[in-house]
Amino acid sequence: MAKAKGEFAEVKALLFDVFGTVVDWRGGVARDVKTLAARINRTIDAEAFADDWRLLYMPAMEDVRAGRRPFVKLDVLHRENLEKVLMKHGIPGKNAIGGLSEDDLDWLNRCWHRLDPWPDSIEGLKRLKSKFIIAPQSNGNIALITNMAKRAGLPWDLVLGAEVVRHYKPCPAAYQLAAEALGLKPEECMMVAAHNGDLLAAKAQGLRTAFVVRPQEFGPMTNRLRHFAGRTPLADPTPYRIDLGPAPEVDVSATTFVELAAKLGA
Amino acid sequence: MAKAKGEFAEVKALLFDVFGTVVDWRGGVARDVKTLAARINRTIDAEAFADDWRLLYMPAMEDVRAGRRPFVKLDVLHRENLEKVLMKHGIPGKNAIGGLSEDDLDWLNRCWHRLDPWPDSIEGLKRLKSKFIIAPQSNGNIALITNMAKRAGLPWDLVLGAEVVRHYKPCPAAYQLAAEALGLKPEECMMVAAHNGDLLAAKAQGLRTAFVVRPQEFGPMTNRLRHFAGRTPLADPTPYRIDLGPAPEVDVSATTFVELAAKLGA
């Protein structure tokens, strides 16, 4: 932890977790849920809807990771989970009377393509890009990450991620193959994430690791406690606890991407 | 040909051929061959060396395209071909007395990562990027295209290409899977190339097509005639004729990327 700049002289590429680390998925999903709710004259707890949708992410990928299902894009997993979340929130689906149209469902499913970055993300990425190759190594598919970047102005050098390497994080292959695609040794890559689980999985494959704290990932603390105390989530929320600090094994940590750039000499 | 801007309103992404279309492979390879020749005190016809190396590109990929060989990155094919070209030009290889070192060979093989763009490429790409997703759909591997872009300042939104789709152009799958990765219909993508063969293969899969003439791809015309008239190439040079104009089936053509941007309203 808190190593000097010179200790990362061998790092050539930074690989970024995206959902929660670069962008605010909860705020973006809730915003579009509210827009749809207003249009169809329904009351929806948009933040709870976002949390429920996100909580189905891990079990959905687990089928692919465990080899029970061939690789499918996250857009497909999101769409399958959307049907479940709509049902839980009492919104009629496509085949119900007065239900959402295919266009509505497709538009809502693509809210993940329209997430906004955290306030420091773009400035920090631009600085980091001046010194390093910067690429998302996200479980989001290529189109999702590309559309998000075009809309928000995220200045990636290239888009890596699950669809390129055909493995979902935290599979070891997801990290190994990302480094290999860049023609780099694992230790020449640094994984950047707000989640210690992601970082420790990367470290186990030899990558360097940077933790950036994102305390608002699940919304304001009071909201988060309210949501998780008063509701029955669709999936076990344990993996979604906020990491308020880096695990001891993590190489460097920062509170923003701009601070990370300063720590890495960019 | 020469359609008005409005006719391409459905196009959301431009896919670029890279070698010859965006960058000057011949000049870049010859430059580094000359550097190496000076260092080892040898005389090498650097332009002929570049031509010979490039001419082995198609037959090398053909083994992969025909399924005789599993997918391998272009860096690997370039390295295999480099050994043949060195032999032809009388340069002792790695295992010969006084031969090149592994570091020399690796450095020379990576000259393809260090190619310079044509003078209009960066300005044109920046304009095109303001309106479209821009991505290389090259036979170059991810590391090659990424390193080239970082060095030269090519502002890609993302890197597609053979390694992402696991098929070399002009295989139909190379174009189909690139559009699919972007979540787009083929007609929402436009292939940009200086080579009609690439464009017609893309068009056969439903993509729009843009021709940009690159008359200097094989060097000045006089040099080119000299090289191809006076030498015995290592492979059939027929596919490497310069296309001095678009095939009639091509949708739009330009002499520079800047002119293409203007024609596409970017």
ipTM, 2 decimals? Answer: 0.92
Q: How far apart are the C-alpha atoms of B154 and B146, rounded to whole Å?
A: 9
What pLDDT score does A240 carry?
A: 56
Q: In this structure, are residues B85 and B44 in contact, taking their beta carbons and an 8 Å threshold?
A: no
User: What region, left, alpha or beta, does residue B2 occupy, with left being phi > 0 and alpha being psi -120 to 50 degrees?
Assistant: left
Select from A75, A156, A184 the Cβ nearest to the Cβ of B158: A156
Please indicate if any CB of chain A lies within 8 Å of the CB of B266: no
Mark yes or no for CB contact A142/B156 under 8 Å.
no
Q: Which 109-148 residues of chain A touch chain B by CB within 8 A?
A: 133, 141-147
Q: What Å distances lie between residue B32 and A96, A109, B94, B146, CA to CA?
A: 66, 49, 18, 19
Mark yes or no for CB contact B181/A163 under 8 Å.
yes
Please indicate if any CB of chain A lies within 8 Å of the CB of B74: no
3-state secondary structure of A124: helix
Q: What Å distances lie between residue A225 and A20, A44, A48, A217, B111, CA to CA?
A: 18, 19, 12, 13, 56
Q: In this structure, are residues B126 and B157 in contact, taking their beta carbons and an 8 Å threshold?
A: no
Does the pLDDT at position B98 exceed 60?
Answer: yes
Q: How far apart are the C-alpha atoms of B219 and B223, rounded to whole Å?
A: 6
Mark yes or no for CB contact A143/B181 under 8 Å.
yes
Q: In this structure, are residues B15 and B201 in contact, taking their beta carbons and an 8 Å threshold?
A: no
Please indicate if any CB of chain A lies within 8 Å of the CB of B162: no
Q: How far apart are the C-alpha atoms of B51 and B101, rounded to whole Å?
A: 23
C-alpha B221, offset from chain centre: 19
Give the least confident one: B91-95, B159-163, B259-263: B91-95
Position A82 confidence tier, pLDDT thresholds 50, 70, 90: very high
Please indicate if any CB of chain B lies within 8 Å of the CB of A70: no
Task: Pull the structure tokens for residue A136.
Answer: 């998302």
Please indicate if any CB of chain B lies within 8 Å of the CB of A85: no
Q: What angle do CA A239, A144, A215 make, to 5 degrees?
A: 35
Select from B143, B146, B183 the Cβ nearest to the Cβ of A143: B183
Q: How far apart are the C-alpha atoms of A25 and A237, rounded to whole Å?
A: 16
Residues B121-168: pLDDT tens digits?
999 999 999 999 999 999 999 999 999 999 999 999 999 999 999 999
Q: How far apart are the C-alpha atoms of B204 and B186, rounded to whole Å?
A: 10
Residues A167-201: pLDDT tens digits?
999 999 999 999 999 999 999 999 999 999 999 99
Please indicate if any CB of chain A lies within 8 Å of the CB of B157: yes
Residue whose entry in the numeric block shows the structure tokens 């190339």 = B193
Select from B144, B146, B164 the Cβ nearest to the Cβ of A157: B146
Residues of chain B neighbouring A183 (CB-CB closer than 8 A): 75, 141-144, 147
Please indicate if any CB of chain B lies within 8 Å of the CB of A104: no
From B22's Cα to the closest Cα of chain A, the distance in A is: 17
Q: What are φ and ψ of residue B181, in 5° steps? A: -60, -35
What pLDDT score does B30 carry?
A: 97
pTM, two decimal places: 0.93
Q: In this structure, are residues A190 and A13 in contact, taking their beta carbons and an 8 Å threshold?
A: yes
From A44's Cα to the closest Cα of chain B, the distance in A is: 29
For helices A142-152 and A74-88, angle between their N-to-C axes, nearest 10 degrees = 80
Does the pLDDT at position A93 exceed 60?
Answer: yes
Residues of chain B neighbouring A182 (CB-CB closer than 8 A): 142-143, 146
Residues B201-254: pLDDT tens digits?
999 999 999 999 998 898 876 445 444 444 555 555 555 567 888 999 999 999
Mark yes or no for CB contact A146/B184 under 8 Å.
no
Residues of chain A neighbouring B165 (CB-CB closer than 8 A): none
